[in-house]
Amino acid sequence: MKQNTKETMTKLSVNINKIATLRNARGGNFPNIVEFAEDIQSYGSQGITIHPRPDERHIRYQDARDLKPIITTEFNIEGNPIHKFIDLVLFVKPHQVTLVPDSVDAITSNSGWDTIKNQDFLKEVISEFKRNKIRTSIFIDTDAKLIEAAAKAGADRVELYTEEFATQYSLGNRKAVKPYTDSAKLAHELGLGVNAGHDLSLDNILFFSQKVPFLDEVSIGHALITESLYFGLENVINQYLYKLSLK
Ligand code: PXP
């Protein structure tokens, strides 16, 4: 199979929110977020993504501060730009901030920005991040008018919201990638970089990345951590059985 060169390859940024969910379930510091991020980078991931939410139910604001010194790849912080979030991002100064219009009670991000309605707000927030040399990306649906308005607001990139693609792909509908192909082309014409994320997985990532041009980066969390559990399970069970056999 033909492989991409380093220059044309889409970067993988691993979203580590699920690791924090696991840690928080027991109240201690195991698994350790910082060590996990270090290992993920050592395994070749080109970025670490976190999505702190106001209720800090998985990644906490302190995690963002703790992670900053150990990031050797690209640090991407996503979230709704409320005051507390903006202050955090300006303090941590990650390489990229991804603006997501998620409501406080949303289980996960469930829509892209209306960049027309929120044009003035986004312009203001983006210019503040730009002054601080932080790249900005806007989480967005595959709508040409919204992508044009993202460019107008001064964003550096858009992150295409891929849930609909992933759902349709799992149902066998390969044509569902077309709006993403078109959106990526338009974004590129407008001078925007192209990221993508939500429900991307080992099942759909090859097809998606082959069909969507100019794809700079994908951020993947839920499926990647689930797949890691699955592919690691046999090995870990065998290690337990081995240790128990030694007594
Ligand atoms: N991009 C954004 C804006 C998100 O909110 C999320 C989920 O936190 C992702 C990407 C990653 O989605 P998933 O966990 O389904 O890979």
232-247 per-position pLDDT tens digit: 999 999 999 999 999 8
Pairwise CA distance, residues 54 & 182, whole Å: 34
- Residues 49-76 have pLDDT tens digits of 999 998 899 999 999 999 999 999 999 9
Ligand 1 mutation target, pool 51, 110, 167, 227, most atoms within 8 A of CB: 51
Average pLDDT, stretch 1-13? 76
On the question of pLDDT at 2 being above 60, the answer is no
pTM for the model stands at 0.95
* Cα–Cα distance list, 1 to 9, 63, 196, 206, 218 (Å): 14, 39, 23, 12, 21
Catalytic residue list contains 58: no
Catalytic residue list contains 148: no
The owner of tokens 């670490």 is 48
**Ligand 1 pocket list (CB less than 6 A):** 15, 17, 51, 78, 98, 100, 108-109, 139, 159, 197-200, 219-223
Other beta carbons less than 10 A from residue 246's beta carbon: 5
Query: Taking the alpha carbons of 38, 44, 46, 49 in that order, is the dihedral positive or negative?
Result: negative
- Residues 131-188 have pLDDT tens digits of 999 999 999 999 999 999 999 999 999 999 999 999 999 999 999 999 999 999 999 9
Tell me the percentage of the chain whose pLDDT exceeds 90.
91
The per-residue pLDDT for 3 is: 62
Could you give the domains of the chain?
A: 6-245 (3.20.20.70)
The per-residue pLDDT for 6 is: 60
The per-residue pLDDT for 8 is: 74
- Residues 212-232 have pLDDT tens digits of 999 999 999 999 999 999 999
